[in-house]
Structure 1
Amino acid sequence: MLSARKKILKRILQVLLIVVIFYFLVKNLYVNWGKIAEYDWNINYYFLTYSFVLLITGAILMALGWNLILRMLGGRLGYKKALKIFFITDLGKYIPGKVWTLVGKVYLCAKEGIPIAKTSASVVIQPLIQVISGMLMFLVSLPFWTKTSDFMNNLYLLLPLIPIGLILLHPAIMTKLLNFVLTRLKQKPIELNIKYRDILLI
């Protein structure tokens, strides 16, 4: 009887969560509808399809990248399960608060037997790698830009950020930063079993 009630409560919470997500999606659409209606739409369906394919491919690669990081931390998820958890929890970014994606991943991964600290670490490491790698790619691409301006020329002053970014990506540095955060959150420190070359390949 108690188990049946838990299942019913779980189903109600799932439906409620979906309703909340779609509420904020519709709300954002309604608030910005004026800008959408005023925009001069000229749709190129070829590029639209191409962009959609790239969007889906990029999202899948991000999910697999997160799963790879989680595996390196000692968390084991099958690829299908990882994709499911990643895309379900990614909907949490549409809910105000900015923490629901993390909360969702921690909750669903905990049900798979993965410690909270490891899941939290994976969620922190992934955007850190994305930001630093994106910054590095941008700086490296600067010489190939055809149109320059004073602002663009001044961006070369950011070149020292390349070695700084590479240093921050080192497992020893990331371990110290993550454990500092985890201790503040009263979680057990972890050891990153990740090689530096593996991080650079993610």
Structure 2
Amino acid sequence: MKDQFDENRSTDKSGTAPIMENHPASNQSPKSRSKPLITIIKIVLVGAIFFYIFRYLISNWDQLKDLNIKLNYGYVILSFIAMKLAWLTTAWSWGKTLEAFGHRLKYRDIYTIYFRSMPAKYLPGKVWQLAGSTYVAAQKGVHEGANIGSFLIGQAYSVISGVALIIGALAFGIIQISGEGFAFFRWSAVPILIALIILIIRPVLMERMMNLVLPIFKRQKVNIYIKITTSLWLFLAFLIPWFLFGLSFWFLARALTPISFNLYIPLTVILTAGTVIGFLAIFAPGGIGVKEASIAALAASITSFPASFALAIGLGYRIVTSIVELIAFGITWLISPAQKNK
């Protein structure tokens, strides 16, 4: 019996020990088998993002060249700098929102989450940027609920602060728009401003609205515990970037034509209005087309602003915005390389 057992153990005449055959396919986990598919999806999405961005850039640049505009490149550079500061401040403001959800990150991580997901907004549909932000945030230890909540609340504060700036400028007569309907818009702005103030000091109202929408996208509901003082602070934090974006807008307008600094506030309000309208246009990825058209129409309605430059400033600002966003996206890979899936 022992001899038979020894004979069965042997594998060849040389007497070498038996070698167990491995079957890699059977040992692979579902996660490891899905890695190639995930990689392919990433490549397709990134390719689609850059296709849309560069297509819009080329289109806007061609239209701008057809206008035969002469630029003051010194002011163009200042416009780039001011916009970069505006985006840095916006990312910082979102980081403060994330803190309200219990996650305090280094600014490097906040920058990475915010700007690495930003190009996805140019894809058709309004959910890609949120999906990208959630994916990158998970790599930084932020759970899905906190990121979704902070992302949506941040967007809400950004829009609310922008609308408050527009309504406030109309209500107090800071901006004068030509047309018979100006008086109506001015006085109707007052109750809207009051409603916005109530929404700011009662963030639980935003929670209720968000929880009506999230189940539609099969996302978990969020709980928002933000004190009134914190809510007011976040409102201010998201209001400041609008003035920096407005400064960038004024620099670009100054690069196109000599204008007075007195137009800084009116142009800031116009840019804010165009941005908010573009954001709310769910059919336009990244507000493309809608934002530029709104800016051009509103700029042309301002007294003391050359109407012939209205279209140029709308197109030019889109080009500056896209370039700054692409640079910010590239920097994220320098300060925080991609993490490998384990």
Q: TM-score range with shorter-chain normalisation? A: 0.7 to 0.9
Equivalent position SS for 2:141: coil
8 Å contact from structure 1 (residues 85, 105) kept in 2 = yes
Residue 196 (structure 1) aligns with: 228
Residue 46 (structure 2) aligns with: 18
Question: What is the correspondence of 1:45-56 to structure 2 with a 5 Å cutoff?
Answer: 45-56=73-84
Match of 1:132 among 160, 173, 192: 160
Match of 2:120 among 75, 78, 92: 92
Identity %: 27
Report the Cα distance in structure 2 between the residues aligned to 1:47 and 1:176, rounded to whole angstroms: 45
Any idea what the Cα deviations from partners look like across 1:115-162, whole Å, max 9, x if unmatched?
Answer: 222211222111211121112112222322356542322212121011
Equivalent position SS for 1:200: helix
> AA paired with 1:166?
I
Question: What is the correspondence of 1:27-42 to structure 2 with a 5 Å cutoff?
Answer: 27-32=55-60, 34-42=62-70
Report the Cα distance in structure 1 between the residues aligned to 2:117 and 2:226, rounded to whole angstroms: 25
8 Å contact from structure 2 (residues 109, 140) kept in 1 = no
Any idea what the Cα deviations from partners look like across 1:76-124, whole Å, max 9, x if unmatched?
Answer: 4321011011111001112222221011011111233322222112221
- Give the alignment's Cα RMSD to 1 decimal: 2.7
Report the Cα distance in structure 2 between the residues aligned to 1:172 and 1:94, rounded to whole angstroms: 30
Q: Point out the structure with max Rg over C-alpha.
A: 2
Question: What is the correspondence of 1:1-202 to structure 2 with a 5 Å cutoff?
Answer: 14-32=42-60, 34-142=62-170, 143-145=173-175, 148-156=178-186, 157-169=188-200, 170-202=202-234
Report the Cα distance in structure 2 between the residues aligned to 1:185 and 1:196, rounded to whole angstroms: 29
Farther-moved stretch of structure 1 (47-56 vs 133-142): 133-142
Higher relative contact order (CA 8 A, sep 6+): 2
> AA paired with 1:191?
N
> AA paired with 1:165?
L
* Change in CA separation of 1:30 and 1:184 when aligned onto 2, cut-off 3 Å: closer
Could you tell me how far 1:46 is from its partner in structure 2? Answer: 2.7
8 Å contact from structure 1 (residues 89, 104) kept in 2 = yes
* Change in CA separation of 1:198 and 1:148 when aligned onto 2, cut-off 3 Å: farther
Report the Cα distance in structure 2 between the residues aligned to 1:73 and 1:103, rounded to whole angstroms: 18
Report the Cα distance in structure 2 between the residues aligned to 1:96 and 1:131, rounded to whole angstroms: 20
Report the Cα distance in structure 2 between the residues aligned to 1:34 and 1:65, rounded to whole angstroms: 35
Equivalent position SS for 1:159: helix
8 Å contact from structure 1 (residues 89, 101) kept in 2 = yes
Equivalent position SS for 1:144: coil
8 Å contact from structure 1 (residues 117, 182) kept in 2 = no
> AA paired with 2:124?
P
**Number of equivalent positions:** 202
8 Å contact from structure 1 (residues 167, 173) kept in 2 = no
5+ residue gaps in structure 1?
A: none
Residue 7 (structure 2) aligns with: none
8 Å contact from structure 1 (residues 106, 116) kept in 2 = yes
